[in-house]
Amino acid sequence: MAHSHSHSHAHPPRPDGTGGGQQDGLTEMLDLDAAVFGPYLATVTDRIARLAGDGVTRIVDLGAGTGTGTFALLERFPAARVTAVDSSPEMLARLTAAARDRGTAERVRTLRADADEALAGLTDTDLVWASASLHHLDDPGGTLAAIRSALRPGGLLAVAEMDGVPRFLPGDAVADRPGLEDRLRAALDELHAEAVPHLGADWGVRLTAAGFTVERADTTRLELRAPLPEGTGRYAFLTLTRVRDALDGRADPADLAALGLLLDGGPHDVRHREDLAVRSGRELWVARRPVDGP
C-alpha cells in the first residue's frame, strides 16, 4: 500500500500493501481479506471480548486501513465508539464512506496521524487494535509506549499479524513449476528483510519489553477449500498481482512467467480455477496495560 506518511525512505511495493506508492487494489484486497476470513475475525474479536470484560466504550483502531477491524469491533462491542487512526487520507475516506453505508457513522471518528510520531489526544482507551500495521512503523517500540499511555490502566492492546502472503495453490499447480509459491515466498522474505524489518517480529517479546502483560498469544493456521467464500478468486488475484509487482526483476524469470500465467485470464488463472484453496497463518497477541505501574 502507499505509505502516505512522511517517511524519508520509500519501501518497494509489497503484497500486504506497503510501500512503493501503489494503492491500486490494496483497499479492495483488505476488504476481501476480511470477507474471506470473516469467521476468523469473529473468533478474534470473541477472544478479545473475553479478556476485555464489560464496559468497553473507547476503542482505537491503529492503522485502520479500510476499517475491517473497526467494523468487526463495533459489532462485538455494541456500546463502543471507535477512533480509526491511519496516516493515509485515502484509507480514512474509504472507511468513513463505509461507516456511513453501514449506518455506524456516529460511532466512528477518524484521525489522520502518523503512528511513528505521536498518538496525541488518545487517552483512557479501553482497547487498541493494531492489525497488520505495527510492522510498518520505523520505531514500533516508541509506538508501543505511546499506546500504553493511550490505554487506561487495565486496558488491552490486541496485535494481529499474518505470517506472510497466503498460499493459493497445490505445489504442482503450474505445470512445470512445482514449488512455485514456496520460492516466491522465499524471495519476498528476502525483500522484506531489507525493506520491512519489523515484519515477522515476535510481538510478544516486544509487548513485554514495553511494559505490557501478554495474556494471549495464538497462531492459527487457516485453510479454506471449495466451496470458497465469494470473492476468494479475486482476493487471490489481487494478492498475487502485488507479489508479481513486488518481485519484478527480483525473482527467477521462469517463476515470474509462471506467476503471470496465474493472472493472465487463461486456463491457469486463479480467478476461475477449481483447485484454488487459501492457506494463511494468522497471529494474535492480546496484552494488558498493568493496573499498577507506569
Ligand X SMILES: C[S@@+](CC[C@H](N)C(=O)[O-])C[C@H]1O[C@@H](n2cnc3c(N)ncnc32)[C@H](O)[C@@H]1O
Q: Would you tell me which residues interact with ligand X (CB under 6 A)?
A: 1, 3, 5, 16-17, 30, 63-65, 68-69, 86-88, 91, 114-116, 131-133, 136-137
Least gap, CB of 115 to ligand X (angstroms):
4
Distances, alpha carbon 147 to alpha carbons 65, 72, 197, 243, in Å: 18, 20, 21, 32
Q: For residue 162, which amino acid is it? A: M
Give the nearer residue to ligand X in terms of CB position, either 86 or 255: 86
Concatenating the DSSP letter of every residue in 242-280 gives HHHHHHTTTS-HHHHHHHHHTTSSSTT-TTT-TT--EEE
In 3D space, the residue among 131, 66, 56 whose CA is nearest the CA of residue 99 turns out to be: 66
Cβ distance to ligand X smaller for residue 71 or 212: 71
CB of 133 to ligand X, least distance (A): 4
CB of 166 to ligand X, least distance (A): 13
Q: In angstroms, rounded to a whole number, what is the distance separating the alpha carbons of residues 181 and 169?
A: 8
The whole-angstrom separation of Cα 206 and Cα 211 is 9
Q: Looking at beta carbons only, is 35 or 273 nearer to ligand X?
A: 35
- Residue 32 in grid coordinates: 476481501
Strand order across the 278-288 sheet: 108-112, 81-86, 58-62, 125-131, 151-162, 278-288, 213-224
- Under a CB-based contact definition with an 8 Å cutoff, are residues 91 and 64 in contact? yes
Tell me the closest approach of the beta carbon of residue 55 to ligand X, in angstroms.
24
From the list 107, 138, 97, 192, the residue with the least C-alpha distance to 7 is: 138
By beta-carbon proximity to ligand X, the closer residue of 218 and 275 is: 218
In the complex, minimum distance from the CB of residue 142 to ligand X, in angstroms, rounded to a whole number = 11
Please state the closest distance from residue 127 (CB atom) to ligand X, in A. Answer: 14
Residue 137 vs 180, nearer CB to ligand X: 137
Pairing verdict, β 58-62 and 125-131: parallel
Q: Nearest approach, Cβ of 76 to ligand X (angstroms)? A: 15
CB 282 within 8 A of CB 220: yes
Q: Which is nearer to ligand X, 76 or 183 (CB)?
A: 76
Residue nearer to ligand X on the CB measure, 25 or 256: 25
Question: What residue is closest to ligand X based on CB?
Answer: 65
